[in-house]
Chains A and B, each alone.
Chain A
């Protein structure tokens, strides 16, 4: 015990992302985002002279593992803060644990909204922040007859409810709506794609997640469909999925997200550069969810510095209303609901498999997790052409 006092004890934080299984493709990159931020913080001498030490577990995309491991983190590992979770089902497992033990979960993932817990800081987009901008881009450029396809769990079902409503406002039409199991076979994908082919929508709205994404886009390509006239528009297909499907399959398809690694601001370029140096490669697998994991870790550190303690109440006070110059631009934790003001960008995959940002909203959008029916004509969600000069991104520094 005397030893601990002379060498200042580190701040321990739990990290809970799947490194194997169906959603590892996304969660692995989120894990990297957290690890990169922790490394940066420690290189600068830690927080108040104390190092941040991650306690890592791999829930392997398995139901039940998130609950078990979060219990272990908050219980026997003596951790108070967890960064983790991708699918809503995993967050719902961890939620009762952090509430019972009064810990804090940083959740760096887009999700369907309709949740608030004082023990969670939500860092990803809710439907009012991304669905409307994506829909208005699609309606403006392709048409308003949509085919909805998603993985069969709560996020796609809820996203599609919102999308159906937006389509109705645009006097458009939903020509098909299908759900696939998370481990859908190639055959199932082909069946859906042939249905799409016969119904001829103007665009396909996909909330297929994980490995299924690659299969869906591949089946689309194999069927000889053309993204120039009927693209797949998605909230969940990120750089990680695009890398794994290859540029020839992904080209021409569209995604809406708060951040793309092709964003050419000093803060973004520096972030991708540091990621590259740490993990090798070209940093092309950096995603919006990775960026969220990264800025949430920094926001935690910023709050910890102010609070001087990992005590949940004190930390929460320091977090609510806090701002941070993230790679995507300035973000802010909304004190009303613990979600985050986020930017929204629409990007199209080019020939090299890079997301070219075509549109963005002018200002970070306030999260409204309890909005039942987002309005298509909400002028705050208006898109502008993405131009570097207009953006007021502050370079991230210490």
Chain B
């Protein structure tokens, strides 16, 4: 996601303000309207979280944190961008921030200045985290596939007394003729070896 895109998309963001309807909440709401986000407010905090929101502002105090929707507490890939609002800097509130892992923080008393900067920074961090999470997931799959292939190669090498290159060549050949991926073939080989191994150890059992 490009840096310019964050600024361009500001006006298409659907924002949700989870904050009591006091002066601070009103001030934030008015500033978000100026910035041009589509903004809704909600109080008290809902148990469940909606998936049609891009940006959530949530007051974090020791009591509010306990009420935070469970879907927010998990910084997984589906969580919207989260901006925490804090009025205190004491350790229990700070611990709350560490637990919640918001993408940005606005300290109260809130001033209109800085809200836009916080939103932009939060979006940047959120997009970056999303990108990294997707990358990590992809790398995980890659590593697992590599392990599967390696195990399959070892099976073939032992079985036919062939080199690693030859083992890989056979797996690939199978994959091409069966129109499957090398990983699928590798899995079948491991699976078959397991069954044969079980059978052999039972047959030759003392």
Name A's B-contacting residues (CB within 8 A). 99, 114-118, 336-337, 368-373
Contact = CB atoms under 8 A, between A and B. Distances in A.
Interface in B24-52: 30-31, 33-36
A117 B30 CA distance: 12
A116 B112 contact: yes
Nearest to A373: B8
A183 to B, nearest CB: 30
Given A368-B36, A370-B36, A370-B116, 19 more contacts: A114-B116, A115-B113, A116-B31, A116-B34, A116-B112, A116-B113, A117-B113, A118-B112, A336-B30, A336-B33, A336-B34, A337-B34, A369-B34, A370-B34, A371-B36, A372-B7, A372-B8, A372-B10, A373-B7
9 contacts: A115-B113, A116-B112, A116-B113, A336-B33, A337-B34, A370-B116, A372-B11, A373-B7, A373-B8
A99 B114 CA distance: 15
Interface string B100-117: 000000000001110010
A370 B39 CA distance: 15
B50 to A, nearest CB: 25
Given A336-B30, A373-B8, A117 B36 contact: no
Interface residues of B, number: 14
Contacts of A369: 34
A120 B8 CA distance: 27
Interface of B is mostly: helix
Contacts of A371: 36
Nearest to A95: B113
Nearest to A339: B34
Contacts of B34: 116, 336-337, 369-370
A10 to B, nearest CB: 33
A266 to B, nearest CB: 35
Contacts of A115: 113
Contacts of B7: 372-373
Nearest to B10: A372
Contacts of A114: 116
Contacts of B116: 114, 370
A371 B113 CA distance: 16
Contacts of A337: 34
Interface string B1-26: 00000011011000000000000000
B147 to A, nearest CB: 47
A87 B11 CA distance: 28
A122 B23 CA distance: 23
Contacts of B111: 99
Contacts of B10: 372
Nearest to B36: A370
Given A336-B30, A370-B34, A371-B36, A117 B112 contact: yes
Contacts of A117: 112-113
Contacts of A372: 7-8, 10-11
A263 B188 CA distance: 85
A370 B11 CA distance: 10
Top 9 A-B residue pairs of the complex, sorted by shortest distance between their CB atoms: A116-B112, A370-B35, A372-B7, A337-B34, A370-B34, A116-B34, A370-B36, A372-B10, A373-B8
Nearest to A118: B112
Contacts of A370: 34-36, 116
Contacts of A368: 36
A337 B33 CA distance: 9
A304 B121 CA distance: 41
A117 B113 CA distance: 8
A336 B33 CA distance: 8
A372 B30 CA distance: 18
A381 B194 CA distance: 74
